Amino acid sequence: MEICSRPRKIQIPLVTLAVFSFYLVSMWHFEKIGSNLVSRTDMELVQIFPPDLHSYLSPCPCSRNNTSIRQEKVDYTWCNGEAVQRGPNQNIVSFSLFGNADKDGMRYFSFVRENAIKIKQLLPGWIMRLHHNTEVDTKERKILCDVYCDYPWVDLCDVGSLWRRLSKRKKKNPDFRPVTGEQVSNVNRRIWRFLPLLDPLADVVLTRDLDATVSNREVAAIQQWIQLNYTFHLMRDHQAHKARILAGMFGVKVYQRRDLVEGLTRVLINFGHNQKYDTDQILLSKIFWPSVKHDVVAHDSYNCMENWNALPTYPFPTKRENNSFVSDNFEGRWIAPKKCPLACRPVDHQDWEYC
């Protein structure tokens, strides 16, 4: 009996010591991450982030406190930690920004704040995601951070950080491969704005050109599309808008056909390494259009009679104002819109010559 009882006398203090040690280590780790995290279960969120949690929750030197830590079951963050905190069912207006804030590049940086303001005014509740490759402590990053710190509906997505995290994720989980870090690092920079189509937290995504701001005419078309049971949205509002899908006037209800959208986006990124300015638009026509054309609301002012439209197009629900058009940057580079064909005008407003 003595031989049997000795191990039990030793086991009890060892188990107690192990539990106590685990508790101390857990508390130390919790304090290291930050005493502002309200519960231990919330720590599951930061497992997808590196040790420097702050750099992912706040990419700029400010604290907006616009979101609270929440537990989301995601394998990967397609922007940053703050985007994850926003939770599911996000409606996103997505942009790409690259280059320097000087000479020709400055015009794009100057539109960042204007777009943020317009999105809040005309699309309340929507998130602006800006995909960029700016470096810390540069003029370019300061411009973005000034907007980020002023407007809590703006998320900054550092694409360099994103593809590095993708590469690490692949090593940890070889089965996780919507796209690889190498593919994202080499992809045409205009295609960055399509990355939210892979995000399980995104419900609706609009891809837009940064040098044009959201307009009332555009929002009226978006609202009509949202009310209809079609996955994709296209707009063509100028006689020069001949492409099947204009990359800066595209919308997707990701939640309706998530598997299809993810598959098409993976192909887009895989083949999108040509750095020419129109690569994204060419690939959208080749990769997306065969599926899009059968499940789309296309607001079209000029191409409504083209036989490549598999479904009837829609006239814009509001009258054009002052020769403007959707995606117009008002810099005088475009000629004024022509009169619209009668067939492309609203049935009850055939008198809208410029529709």
Report pLDDT for 183. 87
213 neighbors 115 (Cβ within 8 angstroms) = yes
Q: What is the pLDDT of residues 28-58, one digit of tens each?
A: 333 332 333 222 223 333 344 443 444 456 6
- C-alpha Rg value of the chain to the nearest Å: 25
- Block residue for tokens 């399980």: 200
Between 81 and 244, whose confidence is greater? 244
Instruction: Output the pLDDT for position 173.
Output: 59
Residue 154 lies in a domain: yes
Residue 32 inside a domain? The answer is no
Amino acid identity, position 209: D
Tell me whether residue 33 is in a domain: no
Q: Which residue range(s) make up the domain with 318? A: 81-344
Condensed to tens digits (0 to 9), the pLDDT of residues 55-90 reads 456 688 887 765 544 555 566 788 988 898 899 999
Helix (H, G, I), strand (E, B) or coil at 235: strand
Tokens of 244: 């099947």
* Total domains, the chain: 1
Check residue 327 and give left, alpha or beta (phi > 0: left; psi -120 to 50: alpha): left
Angular region, 103: left φ>0, alpha ψ -120 to 50, beta rest: left
What are the angstrom distances between the C-alpha of 201 and each of 87, 99, 239, 327?
6, 28, 36, 27
Coil, helix or strand at residue 73: coil
Q: Roughly how many angstroms between the first and final C-alpha of the chain, as a whole number?
A: 98
**Sheet hosting strand 202-208, strand order edge to edge:** 154-158, 127-132, 90-97, 202-208, 249-253, 232-236, 296-300
CB under 8 Å to 105, separation ≥6 — which residues?
Answer: 99
Pairwise CA distance, residues 33 & 57, whole Å: 12
pLDDT of residue 70: 54
pLDDT higher for 334 or 126? 126
93 strand-pairing partners: 128, 206
Q: Would 338 be classed as within a structural domain?
A: yes
Residue 131 in any domain: the answer is yes
Q: What is the model's pTM? A: 0.81
Domain-located, residue 175: yes
**Mean pLDDT throughout 168-184?**
69
At 58, the amino acid letter reads S
The rounded percent of the chain whose pLDDT value lies above 70 is 76
Q: pLDDT value at position 101?
A: 87
Q: Which CATH number does the domain housing residue 147 bear?
A: 3.90.550.10
Domain assignment present for residue 156? The answer is: yes
The 3-class secondary structure across 136-202, one letter per residue, is: CCCHHHHHHHHHHHHCCCEEEEEHHHHHHHHHHHHHHCCCCCCCCHHHHHHCCHHHHHHHHHHCCCE
